[in-house]
Structure 1
Amino acid sequence: MIYLPTDSLDVRHNFALEYYLMTEKRLLEPVLLLWSTTPTVMLGKYQTAENELNRPFIEANHIAVVRRLSGGGTIYNDQGGCQFTLITPTQDKAIDFTSGLKLVTRALNQIGIKAQTDSRNDLIVDGRKVSGSAQYMTDGFRLHHGSLLFNANMDWMSQALKVDPVKLKAKHINSVHQRTVNLIEQQPHWTAAEFKQRLEKALLSMTNAKTSRLTPAEENRLQTIAGQHFSEAAVWQRDHRQFDHVHKRYLKGIGVIAIAFNLDSQRCFSAVKISGDFFSNINLEHFEQSLIGKAYQQGAVAPVIERQLQQAPIKGLHPEQLTALLF
């Protein structure tokens, strides 16, 4: 394993670093990153910003906003927490959090943090979330990145994020604050910097990682990638279409899935939009286009959905569930 230290607190730089390592550097060994950010909200690839983010609060407090290339839900983090990234060469195209979460959990346990995995993609302490993970794939590589909350500003988190009422109801909670906790409750005498240093030491010891750094030319390349793929303006771009039908559901182990659509005078799909906090490598534009012109009948739609999900599955979702949601 190779460890690449990064001192940047700019989430766009750090996401650009991930992307560069996945698509251009393409190292033949696994890569580990451990990094922090200024106050930042990170939107999942398939989410809609206006549904997830409190824009007036975010802009008033100069909180950075970025859309990830991975699915999952929106997270908040700041210098009171940190992020981990694991990039693994693989030909397996399935989303799988097992090995990454196992490594991070072992490291946390080693430094005296009693964390464990839950059934999906989170790490929890006493039933409350301390870490959320997400993944995306490129040709030949899997990227697993996640947050770790040590002493993050929970009040800002609560005000910056708008959690879907469908999800809150399904989880039997009233707010994001109720479900999350800072790890400082377990180690109240540590600073966030000390937590990160201890975690770094444990991870390097467990993986025998070799430390490496990028060249100045490579660092310059990251600036270009950040502008191309992680601009704030792109997050706030809106889909101005008006939809007549919106079907939404929280599916345990999968997440929130919403399907908005219009039908023409012949009861055929004329517009479709799918969004949510699910995990997938799916090209939603291609998926949505595959339904345009199809009759709004289960017999016509079911084979299309099955073919699309065979090509790019949504983690945990059976095609029949998505068909049922449409109807």
Structure 2
Amino acid sequence: MYLIDISRNGQPSYDARVNQSLDNYFVNDLKLPGHGLMFYVNQPSVIIGRNQNVWAEVDIDYLHEHNIQLVRRTSGGGAVYHDMGNFIFENILTDDASDFGDYGHFAEPVLKALQKLGINVAMKENSSDLILDGKKWSGMTMFKSGKGIAAGGTIMYDLNIENAKKVLTENQDEKRKRLGVLSKRSPIVNLKDYLPDGMTMADFREYLLKELFKVSSLDDIETYHMTDDDWKVADQRLAETYGTDEWNFGHNPGYYHYTDHQFEAGKLGINWTVTDGKVAHIKFNPFFKATGDLTAVEQQLVDRKPSSRVIKKAVKKGNLANIDADQLTEFLESQLTSE
């Protein structure tokens, strides 16, 4: 097994959209032989499954107000929160998919390392969650492409649990639509209080890597360092798909289109579907604090034909103080009536 170093120009990468896209690059593009392991940290971010409805899973206003990234995986799984108090480990195999679906196989080395410290961790029965005292400290996911697998999960050292709870507040109206895969919420716990006294996050990282690679020094770990050519391909994938708002915010089951417009107050995205001439679903995604009620605008548009009269009436219903009503009306007309 070898470590995959995803630092760039000597600096670690904390950009969640970058980091979460790299498993796809290693499995589908680079295809290094053998067993690789990515081990990294993301800045505050919400990671959702490929087939999830972000509007049901995430408090979007809280996300934007607290500068939390939204990242859609290329794999399945539920919505989770990451921050600088949380590790992510990911196994990369490109020529052996025999263990696909076996979460226990990929969890075992991490579980053994923690059990060696006297911590009573385990895999939850009939689940991909890793637990301690009945609470989750790791959620695992994986995907398969040909003979390749990416499989891993989180390791919560000192995650901001309050942030996690608030940003992962579900929207019950969207949840009732049952569009996409719903997350299974579980109580979570940090490992910090169960570790030996004085074990910092850096100490914990060093301990885990030594245990996983069965070495006495980090210098003894075989390491693949990403090259400039690697980053060129990764950057291209980000620009085309994984770094775009259309993928991360807009790729929701039941919502077929996504675009945005720059207003004076900031960028406003819309995600929508028109079926048989009527608006079936629509959600606004303001990257600023909208003064007024965009939800009221959404409700006025759903199940109606998006005529100029209907759109003007809906926009008026929102009583929007910092979004120009005429500009918003024109923007909506150009999108909703173009199909």
TM-score of the aligned structures, taking structure 1 as reference length:
0.66
Deviation of the 1:163 alpha carbon: 4.7
Matched, 1:107 2:78: no
Aligned-residue CA RMSD (Å): 2.8
Deviation of the 1:35 alpha carbon: 0.4
Task: Indicate the SS of the match to 2:106.
Answer: helix
Change (3 A) 1:149 1:226: same
Question: Which of residues 124, 129, 133 in structure 2 aligns to 1:122?
Answer: 129
Change (3 A) 1:163 1:184: farther
Question: Which of residues 33, 37, 42 in structure 1 aligns to 2:42?
Answer: 37
In structure 1, C-alpha distance between the alignment counterparts of 2:116 and 2:223, rounded to whole Å: 21
Change (3 A) 1:93 1:104: closer
* CA shift digits 1:284-305 (9 cap, x unpaired): xxxxxxxxxxxxxxxxxxxxxx
Question: Which of residues 133, 141, 162 in structure 2 aligns to 1:134?
Answer: 141
Matched, 1:235 2:235: no
Equivalent position of 1:2 in the other structure:
2
How high is the sequence identity, in percent, across the aligned residues? 24
Change (3 A) 1:96 1:19: same
* CA shift digits 1:138-181 (9 cap, x unpaired): 11111102111110100100001025879xxxxxxxx95x7110
Letter in structure 2 aligned against 1:78? D
Are the equivalent residues in 1 in contact too, given 2:104–2:123 (CA < 8 A)? no
Are the equivalent residues in 2 in contact too, given 1:79–1:192 (CA < 8 A)? no
* CA shift digits 1:255-282 (9 cap, x unpaired): xxxxxxxxx9xxxxxx9xxxxxxxxxxx
Are the equivalent residues in 2 in contact too, given 1:16–1:223 (CA < 8 A)? no
Equivalent position of 1:180 in the other structure:
188
Superposed counterparts of 1:288-327, under 5 Å: none
Show structure 2 runs of 5+ residues with no match. 7-11, 176-183, 257-275, 281-339
Question: Which of residues 195, 218, 226 in structure 1 aligns to 2:204?
Answer: 195
In structure 2, C-alpha distance between the alignment counterparts of 1:94 and 1:203, rounded to whole Å: 20
* CA shift digits 1:167-206 (9 cap, x unpaired): xxxxxxxx95x71100012025332232222212211217
Deviation of the 1:112 alpha carbon: 4.6
Matched, 1:70 2:75: yes
Task: Indicate the SS of the match to 2:230.
Answer: helix
Task: Indicate the SS of the match to 1:189.
Answer: coil
Show structure 1 runs of 5+ residues with no match. 167-174, 242-263, 265-270, 272-327
Are the equivalent residues in 1 in contact too, given 2:27–2:145 (CA < 8 A)? yes
Deviation of the 1:16 alpha carbon: 2.6
94-103 vs 48-57, greater mean Cα deviation: 94-103
Deviation of the 1:94 alpha carbon: 4.5
Computing the radius of gyration over CA atoms, which structure comes out larger, 1 or 2?
2
Q: Select the structure with the greater relative contact order (CA < 8 A; seq sep ≥ 6).
A: 1
Change (3 A) 1:159 1:215: same
In structure 2, C-alpha distance between the alignment counterparts of 1:145 and 1:91, rounded to whole Å: 14
Question: Which of residues 31, 50, 53 in structure 2 aligns to 1:48?
Answer: 53
Are the equivalent residues in 1 in contact too, given 2:79–2:168 (CA < 8 A)? yes
Change (3 A) 1:183 1:163: farther
In structure 1, C-alpha distance between the alignment counterparts of 2:214 and 2:97, rounded to whole Å: 27
Are the equivalent residues in 2 in contact too, given 1:111–1:198 (CA < 8 A)? no
Task: Indicate the SS of the match to 1:197.
Answer: helix
Equivalent position of 1:143 in the other structure:
150
In structure 1, C-alpha distance between the alignment counterparts of 2:13 and 2:119, rounded to whole Å: 26
In structure 2, C-alpha distance between the alignment counterparts of 1:240 and 1:27, rounded to whole Å: 36
TM-score of the aligned structures, taking structure 2 as reference length:
0.63
Question: Aligned pair count?
Answer: 236
Deviation of the 1:15 alpha carbon: 2.1
Task: Indicate the SS of the match to 1:156.
Answer: helix
Deviation of the 1:121 alpha carbon: 0.4
Equivalent position of 2:163 in the other structure:
156
